[in-house]
A and B are shown apart, each in its own frame.
Chain A
Amino acid sequence: MAAPVSLRRFDLSDLDDFWVWASDKHVAANCTWDAYTSKDDLRRFMEENVLTSPWFRAIIVNGRPVGAVSLKSFNGADSQCRREIGYVLAREWWGKGVATAAVRIATEAAMSEIKELERLEALVEKGNKASQRVLEKVGFQREGLLRNYCWNKGATRDMVMYSFIRGDSFLI
């Protein structure tokens, strides 16, 4: 059975663990950011974005951060019912059900903590089947393929849109 997964807030003392996945080109290839090459840059990112974010949590396995889950809000009075979930995992922990457990915990926590939240959505690149399976195993619904939706690393990307609506059932 896989090791238990939990979430907690980040602290600056997590910098070295954060560095493991943030500096990994294979991990960054699937994300909208480029792999970090400077720990100072990463520390600045943690100080300015991670620690100040309303919802940015460490994925904890065996007492150490092995990845992160975060929620993004949208501008506009009509969009306060919506958050976008993003997640990243160190390569060593891929294929063990960790991201699936983390997304399930995060979804339940978000619905419980954010009263106006009605819709949690996620956008995954068309070619990233592993990440799509994470969402499907949790119980997210695939809503459609959005063509040329994002620009990332010099190319336009087709993205698959998934959502979990308050009241949907978890599959795990």
Chain B
Amino acid sequence: MDFGSDQRVNRTLQFDPFTGPDDAVRFIETIILPHPWFRFICLSDATDDRPIGSIVLRPEDAGGGRRRVSIGYSVVPELWGKGIATVAVRMAVAAAFEQWPEVERVQALVFLNNPASQRVLEKAGFQNEGVLRKYLVSKGELIDVAIYSFIAADCRAF
């Protein structure tokens, strides 16, 4: 519930913040459980293993293949600025290339008004390929997004 209900987290995501436990249950049932690859981010040295963020991989190929995969992630605001998302992204990218040998490209779209998230991708070895103008509608507004990618060749270089 914590990060799902926080306005600061949801400002740059495409979900509305949870307003109550029912929203969270519905989210778990409709989004998380059927998802091809959804993971909670937890701190391994914490006294409890409560999720402090989440990370997803989504196949994007037209035919349902996994050559092109999208990554998305979020972390509770109290733990922003500690490099957690960067580590989680690195782990997820490694997992994608290991589990799905056909992956050619992992990509991420980041709202232009979210420079912290862009730095996460840059630190994790993604290349900024450009800005896609008026690409999405989020909360009623047209949004420019930056598109980043990590390709198979980057594995060897990184």
Contact = CB atoms under 8 A, between A and B. Distances in A.
Same complex = yes
Interface of A: 77-82, 118-119, 121, 141, 143-151, 156, 161, 163, 165-166
Given A149-B68, A156-B67, A143 B104 contact: no
A77 B135 CA distance: 12
A151 B67 contact: yes
A78 B132 contact: no
B86 to A, nearest CB: 21
B47 to A, nearest CB: 39
25 contacts: A78-B136, A79-B136, A80-B137, A81-B134, A81-B136, A118-B142, A119-B133, A119-B134, A143-B130, A144-B130, A144-B131, A146-B107, A146-B129, A147-B105, A147-B129, A147-B149, A148-B67, A148-B68, A148-B149, A148-B152, A149-B105, A151-B65, A156-B67, A161-B130, A161-B132
B156 to A, nearest CB: 14
B103 to A, nearest CB: 9
Contacts of A78: 14, 136-138
A158 to B, nearest CB: 9
Contacts of B65: 151
The interface residues of chain B, by DSSP majority, are classed as strand
A78 B136 CA distance: 5
A163 B65 CA distance: 26
B151 A147 contact: yes
Contacts of A165: 133-134
The interface residues of chain A, by DSSP majority, are classed as strand
Contacts of A143: 130-133
Contacts of A77: 137
B49 interface: no
A118 B134 contact: yes
The 7 closest A-B pairs by CB, nearest first: A144-B130, A148-B105, A148-B104, A144-B129, A143-B130, A148-B151, A119-B134
Nearest to A156: B104
A156 B104 CA distance: 7
Contacts of B129: 144-147
B137 A81 contact: yes
A162 to B, nearest CB: 10
